[in-house]
Structure 1
Amino acid sequence: MAPSFLLAALPPPQLAARIQTFRAAHQLRDAAAVPHITVKARSGLLTELDWQEKLREVVARHTPLPIAVGGPRLFSNGTAVYLEAGSSEAVQLHLALLDALKPARFFGYEGPGLQLHLSLVLQRRGVELSELLTAAQTEFADLKRKPLAFTVRSITLMRKPGPGGIYAPLEEWPLLG
């Protein structure tokens, strides 16, 4: 199978370490192994890589992204437990990337209604999301009380080698300034 790509904002190292500790404690192994907030999902990001230069230019013209990460939630469709993420600037960047790429087809969750999030665990056979949501609510209660605010100064191109793989950082694209 062909690899897939996405563009993401990475959380601060301390938060990434907390997430990885939580995942390890619950023996979680899925594509979200490297904590990230997707700003452009894989639609239109073809293996030919001819889209990279165009999107790198969009990123270079966009200001850094203030992001706030809050408490754990479960997607209404039951596909993942995640930490809430908020940033109107990240959604604006997402829309600019989508506009520059103009994919023939894109995911229904892409566009103005993009729900930014930082996945903790993805739905898989043998994984009980309701139990993991409860555990995450305990572990990350501080973020529900007071979201963690930080500024992202670069976007990370991430690559997954194929089904069953994880998205791993490939390169950093600096934002403006």
Structure 2
Amino acid sequence: MTPSHLLALRPPPDIEARVVAFREAHGVRDAAAVPHVTVKARSGLDDDLRWLELIPAVAAATPPVPAELLAPRVFPNGSALYLPARSPGAVQLHLALLDALRPARRFGYEGPHMTPHLTLTIGRRDVTLDALLDAARQAFPHPPTFTATELVWMRKPGPGGAYRPVQSWPLGGAAAT
């Protein structure tokens, strides 16, 4: 059981509360328990944590990131129900992180074609995403916009666990947390 790491943008508390309320209303319990828009998944984010020294400079060089959450969708492979995030800034941050981290191996979804998104639920055998898609359309008829001001390191302890925030860095060089 090794931990997994990712770097993300967090929505403001009001949007987070809406996502959490949707998940609770539908009994969703999975790795996406803390709402976030992933900007860099696991490749290059090894357990040795040496990559952590690179992150503050990338965050400081990145202005706050506007994001518009769009109507709910299901990935074609059925892996997740999500709110796409229209955010050129999130893609640019993703590319800057790839450039800084230079992972030995990248996932196929990484690069300029990356789809920023906020996962509502991960696809599993016991979850009918089509039914949840209809419910998500009702819960998010006018998906919101926000501007992320921090880059957040999130860690999942192992299989079956949930990603939780560990540390954050201000975007554009504001005060650190």
| TM-score bin (small chain) | over 0.9
What residue number does 1:39 align with?
39
One-letter identity of the residue aligned with 1:44:
G
Q: Which residue of 2 aligns with 1:62?
A: 62
What residue ranges of structure 1 are gaps of 5+ in the alignment?
none
Percent identical among aligned pairs is 56
Alignment of 1:11-160 (within 5 A): 11-143=11-143, 148-160=144-156
- Post-superposition offset of 1:55: 2.0
- Please give the secondary structure, in 2, of the residue aligned with 1:83: strand
State the one-letter code of the partner of 2:10.
L
Tell me how far apart the structure 2 counterparts of residues 39 and 114 of structure 1 sit (CA, whole Å).
9
Q: CA deviation at 1:21?
A: 0.7
How many Å separate the matches in 2 of 1:10 and 1:28? 19
1:12 and 1:33 map into 2 onto residues whose CA distance is 15
Alignment partners' CA distance in 1, 2:159 and 2:14:
29
Alignment deviations for residues 67-121 of structure 1 (CA, whole Å, 9 cap, x no partner) = 1112111111111110120111110110010011110111110100000110001
Q: TM-score, normalised by structure 2?
A: 0.95
**TM-score, reference length from structure 1:** 0.95
Once residues 72 and 156 of structure 1 are traced to their aligned partners in structure 2, the CA distance between those partners, rounded to angstroms, is 23
Q: How many residues matched?
A: 173
Which amino acid letter does the alignment assign opposite residue 10 of structure 1?
R
Q: Distance in 1 between matches of 2:150 and 2:106?
A: 24
Match of 2:158 among 154, 158, 162: 162
Structure 2 unaligned runs (5+)?
none
Mapped partners of 1:163, 1:25: distance in 2: 24
Q: CA RMSD in A?
A: 0.9
Cα distance in 1 between the residues matched to 2:128 and 2:145: 30
Counterparts of 2:170 and 2:103 in 1: how far apart (Å)?
A: 23
Greater than 3 Å deviation, 4+ residue runs: none
